A and B are shown apart, each in its own frame.
Chain A
Amino acid sequence: MKFAPLIWAGVWRKPGRAILTLLSIVTAFLLFGLLQGFASGLNQAGSQTRADVLLTFARVSQIEPLPVSQAAQIKSVPGVAAVTPVVLFTGTYRTPLQLVPAFAVDIDQLAAADPDLITPAQIQAMHAHRDGILASSLIAGRYGWKIGDSVPIRSFQWTNRVSGGSTWTLDVVGVHGGAQDDFFKNITLVNYDFIDQARTTSQGTASLFVLRIADPNRASQIGGAVDRLFANSPHETKTATQRQLAQDQLKQIGDIGLVVNEIVAAAFFALLFSVGSVMMQSVRERTPELAVLKTLGFTDGGVMGLVLGEAITLCLFAAAIGLGLAYVTFPGIRALTGFGIRGGPVMGVGLLIAVGLALIVGLPPAIRGMRLSIVEALAGR
């Protein structure tokens, strides 16, 4: 610690240059923190899914509707405990950024499939109000919805036959919670019948079926049996666990992640050259000063340590700022996406990269400092 003032003074020897270098490192680590945080959130989203829930979509495309009558056939497959037809009803609240993930469901079938999610009183309230909405606690908290509020939802997909537009005005009749890994935990629920009758297209269809199975170990056999049921029909299906589907989606996102990682890697690679050249220039300018330190008794290793210490201080300090800035945005990203971002590991990896970066950029000037001859340096040669 007694060398800290000497190292710190070396970092700030040219304040203008130090600030610019610092900013470039801060920017790179802010980018790294944000992207890695987002990626870790995506991975978390995939890992928190339940193994006893299967999703059935149309084989040709996940946006292709399926006849709601398939629910009864699916229910007949051995091992299927409950089936819920679902219409995707996701939209926005007052502004385009106020996302509301929502499903239109048959509330009784949902209660059978997911008995811990909603209370009997909430089921009754949904029966009593065809245009009722059962908000997830996340959405209710975010937008301040209370029971009795009338909320406009602007649907991405469905036109309201009554209003003639995409806005659906619904009454909040309850707020549901649920276990951390509950499929419907963050989903706001509306009545399937109401939506199905009022929408202008696709009546009598579901976007997907949510199946609960008794034995998660037989998920692939049960999924296969469901899909065989509709093989060679106009409405072939693809059934998989939520985890498998999430992994499929993550694989696509993973490709994007690969590109993003390559961008971050390119940024760090460029940083190597810019910070490396700044460090080299800084040491070259201070050749007489380093020679004086050696004259006073600093060993070759000691001078090398000082220069490396400067590189590590600069990189760690800047990285900590960049990662810290990213970290403070995590709650916002978490609130916006619902992803459980694991900030700690991202910060840890970021700081390790900072140390690695410091060693790579600091080593050549440190070796130069270590090797310099006192006599030659003091003579200005």
Chain B
Amino acid sequence: MESAVEPLVSVRRVIKRYKRGSESIEVLHNLDLDVAAGEFLALMGPSGSGKTTLLNLIGGLDRPTDGEVVVAGEHIDGLSGGELAKWRSRHVGFVFQFYNLMPTLSAERNVELPLLLTHLSGAQRKASVAAALELVGLSDRKKHKPGELSGGQQQRVAIARAIVTDPTLLVCDEPTGDLDRETAEEILGLLQLLNREQGKTIIMVTHDPKAAEFASRIVHLDKGALVDEPAAAA
């Protein structure tokens, strides 16, 4: 998709290869993708198509073998490990399929984790955590540990953790993959709300066409390349 406005995320001629023993496997082949600010993009495709690999590159969890990844004007493919870690803490919120919360910490302590890397005071962190939990509707469960919460509630905590630093971009890897249909729709509705009302740019990997319908644009990936870009579904 071409746009007159500078895209928030720009992936250019990206190649990603992995080494498995003596074998080199190319997962992404010369891939280009733009994501505009405020977009809710669903990244679909069969298993092994390279969805998560692409998401990892955009989220700064991995570096491309070749090509460029530019997010909010910053070439993140050239950043060192330490710089990339700092960049992630400021610009990206992550939501995983299996929530990935710290089991020994309460909901509010989990949400506070990204804020520990900022210079905010204890009171400021507390206020930000309260606001994030309020936004996902879990203020009354803030003292509960993940094991005391349902799957949907855990994913809400994970979303609160992802947005608490007010990041530029939210990347979600199968955020409803472990949830029943009803809970999944609640979570997707929440993401849609964050996109529409908070203006969050969201890139979501999903297998589920119904989940993808909540996005404003759907991109299909197959064997490491984009295959088409259907019109907005929602």
Name which of B111-119, B149-157, B206-214 contacts chain A.
B111-119
Name which of B4-12, B98-106, B133-141, B183-191 contacts chain A.
B98-106
Contact yes or no, A300 B82, CB < 8 A: yes
Contact yes or no, A13 B104, CB < 8 A: yes
B21 → A minimal CB distance (Å): 13
- If A300-B81, A374-B62 touch, whether A6 touches B105 (CB-CB below 8 Å) is yes
Which residues of B lie under 8 Å from residue A309 when comparing CB positions?
none
Closest to A1 in B: B122
Q: Which range holds the interface residue count of chain A?
A: 20 to 34
Q: Does B94 contact A (CB under 8 A)?
A: yes
**Residue among A288, A289, A297, A300 with the highest chain B CB neighbour number at 10 A:** A297
Contact yes or no, B105 A5, CB < 8 A: yes
- If A3-B116, A5-B109, A6-B113 touch, whether A298 touches B85 (CB-CB below 8 Å) is yes
**Residue among A10, A294, A296 with the highest chain B CB neighbour number at 10 A:** A296
B123 → A minimal CB distance (Å): 12
Closest to A10 in B: B104
Which residues of B lie under 8 Å from residue A374 when comparing CB positions?
56, 61-62
Q: Does B40 contact A (CB under 8 A)?
A: no
Q: Which of A9, A288, A302, A375 contacts B104 (CB 8 A)?
A: A9
Closest to B90 in A: A297
Contact yes or no, A297 B117, CB < 8 A: yes
- If A292-B100, A375-B56 touch, whether A299 touches B82 (CB-CB below 8 Å) is yes
Contact yes or no, B113 A296, CB < 8 A: yes
Which residues of A lie under 8 Å from residue B103 when comparing CB positions?
13, 289
**Residue among A6, A13, A301 with the highest chain B CB neighbour number at 10 A:** A6
Query: How many positions in chain B have a CB within 8 Å of any CB in the partner chain?
Result: 27
Q: Give complex CA distance A294, B60 in Å.
A: 11
Interface string of A273-297 (1 = CB under 8 A from B): 0000000000000001100111111
Which residues of B lie under 8 Å from residue A6 when comparing CB positions?
102, 105, 109, 113, 116
Q: Does A12 contact B (CB under 8 A)?
A: yes
SS class of chain A's interface: helix, strand, loop or mixed? helix
Which residues of A lie under 8 Å from residue B114 when comparing CB positions?
296-297
**Residue among A10, A293, A302, A379 with the highest chain B CB neighbour number at 10 A:** A293
Contact yes or no, A296 B89, CB < 8 A: yes
Q: Give complex CA distance A302, B61 in Å.
A: 16
- Which residues from 56 to 112 on chain B have a C-beta closer than 8 Å to any C-beta of chain A? 56, 59, 61-62, 81-82, 85-86, 88-90, 94, 96, 100, 102-105, 109
Q: Does A378 contact B (CB under 8 A)?
A: yes
Contact yes or no, B117 A296, CB < 8 A: yes
Closest to B56 in A: A375
Q: Give complex CA distance A375, B104 in Å.
A: 23
Q: Give complex CA distance A12, B145 in Å.
A: 14
Q: Give complex CA distance A302, B86 in Å.
A: 11
Query: With A6-B113, A13-B103, A375-B61 given, can you name 20 additional A-B contacts, CB distance below 8 Å?
Result: A2-B122, A3-B116, A5-B109, A6-B102, A9-B102, A9-B104, A12-B104, A288-B100, A289-B100, A294-B85, A296-B89, A296-B113, A297-B85, A297-B90, A299-B85, A300-B81, A302-B85, A374-B56, A378-B61, A378-B96
Shortest Cβ-Cβ A-B pairs, 7 listed = A297-B89, A9-B104, A299-B85, A292-B100, A296-B114, A297-B88, A374-B61
Give 13 pairs: A residue, B residue, CB < 8 Å, sorted on A. A6-B105, A289-B100, A293-B113, A295-B94, A296-B89, A296-B161, A299-B81, A299-B86, A374-B56, A375-B62, A378-B61, A378-B96, A379-B52
